[in-house]
Each structure stands twice: as C-alpha cells, then as structure tokens.
Structure 1
Amino acid sequence: MDSAAHTTLAGRLKPLVINGRTYEGRAELRPRGELVHGCADVLDETLTALPSDVRRVELDMADVVFMDTAGLQFLERLDHYRRLRHIPVAATHWSGQPRRILELAGLDTTDPLHATPPPATASAPAPEADPPACSVVALERAEQLHMLRTEVRQLRQAIVSRPVIDQARGILMAAHACTPDDAWHILRETSQLSNTKLHTVAAALTAGAGTDGPPPPEAVRTALRTAVTRRLH
C-alpha cells in the first residue's frame, strides 16, 4: 500500500508517502518525506485502507525529514485511530529536525503517543556548598526554556500561513541550493534577527521574487544575509 500528498511546490519539497505491509494482524507503515499541510489526510487514507483484522499498527518514522505543526495534527489523527480501534499504535525512530520538534512540544521522542516523559534535562540538586553554580544552571535553563517556547509559538503560528511559508522556503532552496530544513532555519532566524513575524518575512520574500515585486525591507534583507551566512557558510 502507499499514499501520498504533494506540497504546494511539487518537485522542490518532499511529498509525504506512506508505504507499508500487513501480516498476521499487524500493520507496519513507513512514512517518507515531510509532515506538512496535508499529511494528516494521507494518514487517514492509509489507515482507512488497512484490513479490518489489523490489531496493531507500527510506524517507523526514520525517513521523515521535516515537520511543522501539521505533524502534530498527524499525531492527533494517529492517536484518534488508536482510541477508536482500541489497538496498540506506535510511532518510533524519530530523528533530526522532527525529533527536535517533538522535544519542543514536550512529547516523548521515543514514541510521542505515549505519556509525556520527565524532562531529559532534569538532574540531581547541586550541593549546597556551591549555590552560585546552581544559580547559573537555573538561569541557563530558564533562557533555554524561553527560546523553546518561542520556537513552539512560531511553529503554531506557521500552520495558519503555511502556503506563503512553503513558497518562501522554495525560493530560498532554489536561490541557495539548500535543503528544506536549511530554508526553514534561515526563515526563522531572519524573523528573529529582524524582529519581524515569520509570516511577514515569508510574504516579503515571496513578493520580492516576482518580476516587478518590491524588495523586502532593509531590516529583513540584512537579517536574511546574516542568516544565510550563518547557516550555509
């Protein structure tokens, strides 16, 4: 079996394809590509096509190379199927950028359908004899938490403006011969450096790519050059 969904920039981004097999009441599925807009629909098609005698579903996510908040919808649909059918469902072998997104969302990176685990950064209290070091660690963790919350907020906002962000990623990929993951990081860092909303940055890049389109604001252009240099050079 296989199902696929194409992004708005077919041929540039990687469409989600789900291959798999079933035997002895067990379905083994292997998604490949990106968990972006439309991925939950591909999952629905795949799950609907499974034989009625399937009693366990396992997804190997090793070939998923990118995900945004649409990936969380993917997991919600998967969890709904699990509860509806009352059968074990697992999604394992996450790596790279998708694994990072699971961490940002506070999900179990081994299998996000399980309960959220204790924070991986938790450690034993520092000895009372060294309170300054403990304070430094606490400050560093607070800063990291703030950065992670900012990333999660941006990811949640991105889903509502996915088409223009897809286009901006495609423009960056074509202009700099970079990967979808690189393009996403460049967009995000440009947004942060220029103190401009991610959607606004993407819209400016997309508009400027037209024949007579206006160039992005100077602050965005400067931040974009810095982001590209940091990521690709």
Structure 2
Amino acid sequence: MDVPSPGGHVRVTIRGELDLSAVPALERALRKAVARATRGVDLDLSGTAFCDCAGLNALLAARRHALERGRTFTIRSAGPAVRRLLTATGTWPLFTPGEHALNHDEQALRNEVVQLRRAMQTRPAIDQARGILMATFALSPEDAWDVLVRISQNTNTKLHVLAGRLVGTAQDGGLPEGLRQQVTAVLATLPASSDAEEPSPGAGAAP
C-alpha cells in the first residue's frame, strides 16, 4: 500500500490468490486504504493470479464502503484471471469508470457466458424432447438430435422453442398428427443406415 498521493489517492497492489482464506486480510487492507485516502483507492491487480467469488465479494464490499465515504474505488490494472471473472459477472464497469467499450476478447467472453447461460436453461427441454423422439420412433440419440434440428430449420423455429412444444404436447396425450408427419418426413431424408420405421400409434421403443 502506497502513501497517499498529492491528489489524495492511495494505491493498493495485490499479488497472489484472492480466495476465501485471503478475504479477512484483504478486507482489513482495503478498509485501511479507504481511511487513508482523501479522494480514492486505486487497485493494481496485475499480479493477482486467481480470484474467486469470495474475493470478488470482498472487492464489491470495499467499493461500497469507499463510495459511502465519498471515495472512488478503481481498478487501474488487472491480470487475465481478474478481468475474466469481472467481465463474466458483469462487474468490470463498476471498477473501471470511464471505460465504455470492451475490447474484442472481453466482448467475446461476455457473449460466450450469455450463450452458456442460455444453454443451461434450455438443455433440459431439448434432452426431454430427444428422449420422446427416441421412445416414440425408436431412434438413436444422434438421429433424434438430427430430427429436432431439421424440423427447427424447416419450420424456422428456435430449437428450444420446438423442444418445449414437443414436450408439452407429449404430456398432453401424445404427439399430434402434424408433428408425426414432420418427423416421418425428416426420417425419410436420413441416411439408410439411420432410418427408422415409425411404430404404430401407441407403440413404444423397439426392444
């Protein structure tokens, strides 16, 4: 921790790993820095090799503590691990006032996080829909996936929306005739080694 600058800022350099075991010492150091500063606290996290949610929560609490006392709380530099965590959690702008644009890597990471969250939310319905197709039409997992994807493309319907409809109709008493016809049409386009005959109504999966 540096002495206050002529401008009233205290610079705190943090090296090593910020995890649950480091939180008590981190909290004490940051509160001391806020007390010594007259304008704000500047953090140098370029040497921080790891930061988990406990470390992030400590930083957020210190920022709130500083703002309540009229001080700024700014990250001036950060290593990849810290930048990745703060970008993924959407907290990076809180510590970097004046930075309005993300660089290409940070934007790509944020997009990836959004996609992963969406996938986690929609995956259960898609897996259930695949299971229904496998049981109803005696399909392999791969063919059931191909059927879902192709019907999604043919009907211009998002995959998770189609899966949700399929699960809903199956729970209401079986697949409607229109959907059965769509599945049959797609099955006819699959390679001969993957074709499966549609069982008669009410029949289950092939043994």
Please give the range of the TM-score, normalised by the shorter of the 2 chains. Answer: 0.3 to 0.5
Structure index of larger Rg = 2
Q: Larger % of helix: which?
A: 2
- TM-score by structure 2 length? 0.44
- TM-score by structure 1 length? 0.39
